[in-house]
A and B are shown apart, each in its own frame.
Chain A
């Protein structure tokens, strides 16, 4: 196979999180140059190291400042509300469903990227660990969040919490652990393992282990001109490499990490990362799921449908709708 002689300048997601450290960085810094037999050289950094917030990187890619970039799709919904459809609260309760959803929606994302970001090409969709709920207050089901002060980022999560009757609080992420500990807020949403590594189990007592904050999918995309400049062989090779050596690995790890995150936080199960915490694990009930479907179909999906054109709603129903059995309409 002939691989082009070229270079990629890659801007990755949060440098402090394991997705970048364990997957993005090794893949782009080492794997691509090696697997291409030295034909492709790379330059790797992250948006936070560039002083960016993460929401602007696709726009900068469209303006030819960045060649390849990954960021949380939710950060960029300002520019492309179509991306919001990928990740709704508790729409995909487990990793397998989340992966099916991401695979089904991929072609739609690709189209949206191409339209919104000047011909950009989607290369990969990978999840962060599911965004679960930590409470420093007693809860026994999802409905107990009603009346609680919950810190969440992102519009859809906030709408979901509102539908549950919880008080959505906007706080800077850096201030969450202190705010939880001292009762400024009752609950907060973050990834289970990152909650463990930043010691949230010391300041919170109850864990609701389902993705109330969704999966915060990280989408990797390439500048349109750059993509067009690659030979068909190289394009095919690159997509295959990403699928096998990046995406598949991240999804596989997501299964383990979700399990291990819960084990480490609650002490129920194997925790290889250190002393486990002893948070109370709250079980999701059938009525939780019923309530979720109702809120999604009655409130969140119609709100989202109002923000995008009808054809994207149709495409959503054909793809994610058929995977999850949910229906979106204006």
Chain B
């Protein structure tokens, strides 16, 4: 069944059927041939449940926040300032991409929104300076994934909810791994560009005066970080409510800088709706596919597979990591979390692993799934933002970062305190 499913999926995608339609058609195909029940009867309820979602609203809100920063030029100022600090490294602007993504991740709980924001600012620069499109777009897609590791994070909320783990602890645990991963991206990118300079761009040097005077451009984003994360820890707002405060904050800051106008808001809304429409159509379709897969017994197969293997803790962990990498190729990440966490987390926790630590490891694997083809939302978002060029560029360009994430996963397994140090310190 699995081989046939994958074949159908790949063929449909290859003949450039839209991803959302591919997922629905695949669901119908599986329903028709593998399910004794008329699952298509459930489509309306499944789609309504998927769309009518309080948690998902954070996606358009964070995208809107980013759009406002982009359209008012605040994002560009941030990008320029970070460029002056980081582009002396081999690879030039690629490091500005990663650094900006890291900073924006601290105000955004969604990887997709982070990638969309950085992409909108950075891609025109990359084109003007004739950067090799592969690593350039790849660094944006990968940098964007930091959005769910560095708090706030919608996916960590979902994990905390499904496993009854403390969300503030998870947020604290994501901080250091997020920053380390960003550092790893920078080092990795520099090494690649030392090896093949043509993949990056010219290293540019800026005077210290220029660097320091640029720091003021970081103020708006740092303020926003204070509003979004501060309001959560101060007890004013829940993590999803904080996204709304972030949008208001961005508008107020932009207005204070004299950069907010009716046309800016309108453009920001249009951009938000375009990206949200693209993402939500795929998410809706993937919920239906998920429903069909669960009905067809894939969850049962997964459970019995994991339980019957009878392996020790670390072998089981390795198998679970491998499973996430493989499923991550094909399944949209929120659905992937919903299908698998209820099965996997209890097994892992019963083997003595820390639930907070596993949450962070899982988020790392989810980040990976966001940038692995053929189904990788961040790849799609970056491709959508650049409006041109082949999808291949983004796909290939993200691969080195997948390798770096794997390294990070190994480090997390070997040194769990990378994740657990901060929450333990706070307790």
Contact = CB atoms under 8 A, between A and B. Distances in A.
Contacts of B158: 174
Interface string A95-132: 00000000000000000000000000000000000000
Nearest to B293: A50
B54 A182 contact: no
Interface stretch (A53-61, A239-247, A312-320): A53-61
Interface string A131-174: 00000000000000000000000000000000000000001111
Nearest to B43: A65
A183 interface: yes
Contacts of A178: 166-168, 232, 238-239
Contact of B300 (A43, A63, A171): A43
A209 B198 CA distance: 68
Contacts of B329: none
Max count, chain B CB within 10 A of own CB: residue among A16, A44, A45, A179:
A45
Interface stretch (A191-199, A250-258, A264-272): A191-199
Contacts of B237: 184
Given A49-B339, A56-B45, A60-B45, A43 B297 contact: yes
B38 interface: yes
Max count, chain B CB within 10 A of own CB: residue among A15, A49, A171:
A49
Contacts of A182: 233-236
Interface string B36-69: 1111011001100110001100000000000000
Contacts of B234: 182
B287 A51 contact: yes
A171 B238 contact: yes
B161 A174 contact: yes
Interface string B20-49: 000000000000000011110110011001
Interface in B335-361: 335, 338-339, 342-343, 346
B42 to A, nearest CB: 4
A53 B49 contact: yes
A45 B297 CA distance: 8
A305 B278 CA distance: 45
A308 to B, nearest CB: 23
A48 interface: yes
A178 to B, nearest CB: 5
B330 interface: no
A16 B347 CA distance: 12
Interface string A62-73: 011111000000
B83 to A, nearest CB: 36
A310 to B, nearest CB: 30
Nearest to A57: B45
B108 interface: no
Nearest to A202: B166
Interface in B148-166: 157-158, 160-166
B319 interface: no
Contact of B290 (A51, A64, A184): A51
Contact of A51 (B54, B162, B291): B291
B45 A52 contact: yes
Nearest to B286: A51
Contacts of A43: 297, 300
A179 B236 CA distance: 9
Interface in B267-321: 287, 290-291, 294-295, 297, 299-300
Nearest to A44: B300
Contacts of B300: 43-45
B264 to A, nearest CB: 32
A45 B238 contact: no
Contacts of B299: 45, 49
B383 interface: no
Nearest to B41: A63
A174 B167 CA distance: 8
Contacts of B297: 43, 45
Contact of A48 (B235, B287, B342): B342
11 contacts: A44-B300, A48-B162, A49-B299, A50-B290, A51-B50, A51-B287, A52-B45, A52-B46, A63-B42, A65-B37, A178-B232
Given A51-B287, A65-B38, 6 more contacts: A16-B162, A16-B342, A43-B297, A49-B342, A50-B295, A184-B236
